[in-house]
């Protein structure tokens, strides 16, 4: 088994020291899905939900979440982000959310991408909860992580 990087020799939680690493271009893409009733999808498409434009608000919430990841996840490093893109794609049975994050730095951006997807999905849930009691959030996953 690989040694955990967020613990010291006594097993105590520690932020990873990345001081000796060189800067590299970092990229991550994550996705997740929220299943919705057909009626809810129609309301989203028509932009007639009482809380407003669900997809735009979810995308903005995802971007905001990416920028706050280091405050939400205790051992994440604060990063200077170069690109954050959150896309919501309506599908037959719900909404697919994808998040892409880029930076040049000493550590990856996968947690930021996963956080962006998670918060965008939770925002959709919040905005639709009054009209849809069947929603489920599924398949939040990292699709790609690169460094060059």
Whole-angstrom Cα distance, residue 19 to residue 57? 37
In a domain, 143, yes or no: yes
In a domain, 77, yes or no: yes
Here the tokens at position 95 are 């909404």
pLDDT of residue 5: 67
Q: What angle do CA 107, 89, 25 make, to 5 degrees?
A: 20
pLDDT above 80: residue 102: yes
Place of tokens 């929220």: 34
pLDDT of residue 19: 76
Domain that holds residue 60: 24-147
In a domain, 16, yes or no: no
Q: Name the domain count of the chain.
A: 1
CATH number at residue 143: 3.30.70.640
Residue 126 designated active-site: yes
Place of tokens 């951006």: 109
pLDDT of residue 50: 87
Q: Which of 53, 126, 132, 139 is catalytic?
A: 126
What confidence tens digit (pLDDT) does each residue in 2-61 have?
Answer: 665 666 666 667 777 677 789 999 999 999 999 999 999 999 999 999 888 999 999 999
Whole-angstrom Cα distance, residue 52 to residue 131? 13
pLDDT above 90: residue 114: yes
In a domain, 67, yes or no: yes
The candidate with the shortest Cα–Cα distance to 137, out of 109, 117, 108, is: 117
In a domain, 141, yes or no: yes
In a domain, 15, yes or no: no
């Amino acid at each position: 088994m690989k040694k955990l990087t967020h613990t010291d020799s006594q097993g105590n939680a520690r932020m990873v020291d990345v001081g000796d690493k060189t800067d590299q271009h970092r990229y991550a893409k994550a996705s997740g899905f929220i299943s919705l009733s057909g009626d809810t999808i129609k309301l989203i498409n028509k932009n007639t939900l009482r809380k407003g434009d669900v997809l735009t608000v979810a995308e903005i919430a995802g971007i905001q979440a990416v920028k706050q990841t280091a405050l939400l996840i205790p051992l994440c490093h604060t990063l200077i982000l170069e690109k954050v893109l959150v896309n919501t794609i309506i599908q037959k049975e719900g909404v697919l959310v994808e998040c892409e994050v880029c930076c040049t730095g000493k550590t990856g951006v996968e947690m930021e991408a996963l956080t962006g997807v998670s918060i965008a999905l939770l925002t959709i849930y919040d905005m639709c909860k009054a009209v849809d009691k069947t929603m489920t959030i599924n398949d939040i996953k990292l699709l790609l992580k690169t460094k060059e």
